[in-house]
Structure 1
Amino acid sequence: MGQGLRAARNARGWSQERLIFEIEGYARRRLLDVASTASLRTYVSEWENGRRAISERYAAILRPLVGATDAELRGGPERPTVQQPDGYEDLLSRIDSARNISESMVQTFLDQTELLRTMDRQMGAAGLVDQMTGHLAAMEEALTFAVLPSARRPIATALAGAATLAAWQALDAGSVDRAWRHYELAKRAAQEADAPLYLAHAMGEQAYVLSDAGRPKMAVELIRDAQRTHSERQSPRLRTWLSAAEAELCAAAGMSDDAQRALGRAMESLPDGEETRDPDMPSVFLNADHLGRWRGNVLALLGDAAAMGDLYTSLQSTDPTFVRAKAGLHCDLTQAHLSRGEVEEARSHLQQARLLASRTGSVRHRRRVELLTGRL
């Protein structure tokens, strides 16, 4: 029963004492009452060994601390929806409610996704697990009971964008299974909405799951398939994003020439101007500065000395609210300095990466930090 808690704790490199410290800090900041330190030691041990069920009171604290859903935390299935005694009456009530969803309600869904994206960028994904779970559930509920295509498509489009964001957050928080399932949800929603940009973007991000899982060649195949998905309907900025992602995934797979070619396509296809958001797809942030940072990442992975200039330029220009991106930049700089044998500089950047990964609760970046630490 407590295997999920133990796994989530271990993914962050926390001891049981560290988890207790975090529980107490969380409770103190929110003026919540929790048991004494000695009692919490007993609780954590019993939770993880299955001798005590995690109460809702403590589950509400643990979910944002370790970035796990309730099912992941407790190691059981999601709670079933309570069925109403009069099935037809309840069904028609839900259908009527879905039919009445207006454009303003869909815009509310989109605004909530944007808020969660901003919070994720600044604070990390772990603390948003409850909000994102509820957000997706509300949109899935609306889509389930929307009948006509005119009502379903706007909701499905909103769901595709939100599910893709939720998947990336889950991946960052170390919940690979949840990330994969959210990407599948995003793809289904995009297909229903006839939204090829959202479908290609979800496929492109999903390729990173395969790469992180040790299937880099399969990841490259998926990102290339994403590029072929209704390519004639893809926006220039999305095409640039997909090419840059292909370059990174090829570099991770050791396909140097392919990475360089994909990087060249990305540099050539980027739209002019300082605009960062794709007007056709707000999920994509990409301008010359972002692409420069991405180029530095790819070159660092390839061990190319040219990476250094791009990375230091990006370090100076990156929006300070992109905390997770800065963690990645410091990892890239660590790798670039190591390839040149500059150990002290590498250590300095690795320390910054470690601090930022800890600040955002990024399990994904923490794993990369551990791999780089092994090279020092």
Structure 2
Amino acid sequence: MGTGLRNVRTAHGWSQERLVREIEQFARRHVIDVASTASLRVYVSEWENGRRTISDRYATILRRLLGVTDAELRDSPTALAPAMADGYDELLSRIDSAQSVSESMVKAFNDQTELLRTMDRQRGASALVDQMAGHLAALEEALTFAVLPSARRPVALELVGASTCAAWQAIDVGAVDRAWRHYELAKRAARDAEAPMHLAHATAEQAYVLMEAGRPALGADLVREAQRLLGRAGSPRLQAWLYAAEAELCAHADMPDDARRALDAAAAIIPSGPEDRDPDFPSVFLNSGHLARWRGHVLAMLGDGGAVNSLYDALALVDPTFVRAQAGLHIDLAHAHLARAEYEEAHSQVRQARLLANRTGSVRQRRRVDLLSAKL
């Protein structure tokens, strides 16, 4: 008891004193009454040592600050869903409700996923855990009690998109177990919907969990498995995305030749023009400009100083509201400057990346920044 809070606090690189300050700042921003500084210090120590239970009021604050679920915060098993009432009435009620999911309801699910995806890009994942958990629960409920394929398929497709979005958010806050489980949910939903493009995309994205866990070579193999699953059935934009993902995993696995071949394959197949969203598969955003930025990232990971110019071009074009994307570009620029032994410029890029990563609460990006700082 208490290890959950301690684990997520240390994953963020925060001391107990820093956590107390963050609680106080959160309370001021949201006009919430909290205990005095001295009392909060005692609370945090007792929460982590299991001598005090985290109240619901403070749990809400801590979940928002740390980007975790209640079970992760309290280090408790996920609560089981309440048992159904005896008899068939409750079951039939749920089946009837799922059967009546209309096109407008499916659109509402999609709109909610899109909103959460946009908020994630602009603000980071930490503040969205509760909203995303509720959204996934509603989709799973609708799919669980949908009987016929005509009712199941549209809900399953929405669940794939929401689950992969939730998984990426979990990676960003360092909750890798949650991320892996979300991808498994997405893959099950894609199989239920008989949607090979969705299955391939979810499988390839899951490789990033392996990369963050220190197994990029295994992740590259998983991306290639996703390519095999897709075959020639996918859209060119999705196929280009898979090649680019393979290149990134290979770069992290120190397989430069494979990475460059995959980059060339992506460039050869990407559709021309500024359109970035795949009409056949809306979960993928990719055009030649995005691919150039991705190429710069891969080359930076390979220690190619020639990536500097293309990365600065990408930084000038990136949407300023996409804070996490900007942080990633600054990290890549630091890598590229370091490869050219331009240490002052690399230091400057690391400082910018750290500031932006702190704004979004990205554990993943802060880890990358710390690794870079150790090389400077």
TM over 0.5: same fold?
yes
Give the 3-state SS of the residue equivalent to 1:284 in structure 2: strand
> Is 2:350 the partner of 1:350?
yes
Could you tell me how far apart the structure 2 residues matched to 1:235 and 1:21 are? 49
Could you tell me how far apart the structure 1 residues matched to 2:146 and 2:108 are? 17
1:176-325 correspondence runs (5 A):
176-325=176-325
> Is 2:328 the partner of 1:328?
yes
Could you tell me how far apart the structure 2 residues matched to 1:34 and 1:375 are? 40
Give the 3-state SS of the residue equivalent to 1:229 in structure 2: helix
Q: 1:84 to 1:250 in 2, by over 3 A?
A: closer
Partner residue in 2 for 1:109 = 109
Could you tell me how far apart the structure 2 residues matched to 1:57 and 1:79 are? 19
Please list the CA deviations of residues 150-175 of structure 1 after superposition, one character each: whole Å capped at 9, or x if unmatched: 00000000000100000000000000
- Give the structure-2-normalised TM-score: 0.98
Post-superposition offset of 1:274: 0.5
Partner residue in 2 for 1:39 = 39
Amino acid at match of 2:253: A
| Unaligned stretches of 5+ residues in structure 1 | none
Could you tell me how far apart the structure 2 residues matched to 1:156 and 1:188 are? 9
Give the 3-state SS of the residue equivalent to 1:282 in structure 2: strand
Post-superposition offset of 1:84: 4.3
Is the contact made by 1:289 and 1:317 (CA closer than 8 Å) also made in structure 2? no
Please list the CA deviations of residues 286-320 of structure 1 after superposition, one character each: whole Å capped at 9, or x if unmatched: 11221111000111111122211111110111111
Could you tell me how far apart the structure 2 residues matched to 1:254 and 1:199 are? 27
Is the contact made by 2:11 and 2:363 (CA closer than 8 Å) also made in structure 1? yes
> Is 2:54 the partner of 1:54?
yes
Could you tell me how far apart the structure 2 residues matched to 1:261 and 1:87 are? 60
Please list the CA deviations of residues 18-70 of structure 1 after superposition, one character each: whole Å capped at 9, or x if unmatched: 11111122122222221111111111111111111111111111111101101
Could you tell me how far apart the structure 2 residues matched to 1:306 and 1:352 are? 21
| Unaligned stretches of 5+ residues in structure 2 | none
Could you tell me how far apart the structure 1 residues matched to 2:283 and 2:192 are? 18
Could you tell me how far apart the structure 1 residues matched to 2:79 and 2:110 are? 26
Q: 1:268 to 1:138 in 2, by over 3 A?
A: same
Could you tell me how far apart the structure 1 residues matched to 2:323 and 2:205 are? 19
Post-superposition offset of 1:82: 2.1
Is the contact made by 1:196 and 1:230 (CA closer than 8 Å) also made in structure 2? yes
Q: CA RMSD in A?
A: 1.0
Partner residue in 1 for 2:142 = 142
Give the 3-state SS of the residue equivalent to 2:347 in structure 1: helix
- Give the structure-1-normalised TM-score: 0.98
- Structure 1 vs Structure 2: percent identity of aligned residues? 68
Tell me how many residue pairs correspond in the alignment. 376
Amino acid at match of 1:251: A
> Is 2:368 the partner of 1:368?
yes
Could you tell me how far apart the structure 1 residues matched to 2:87 and 2:332 are? 56
Amino acid at match of 1:367: R
Partner residue in 2 for 1:157 = 157
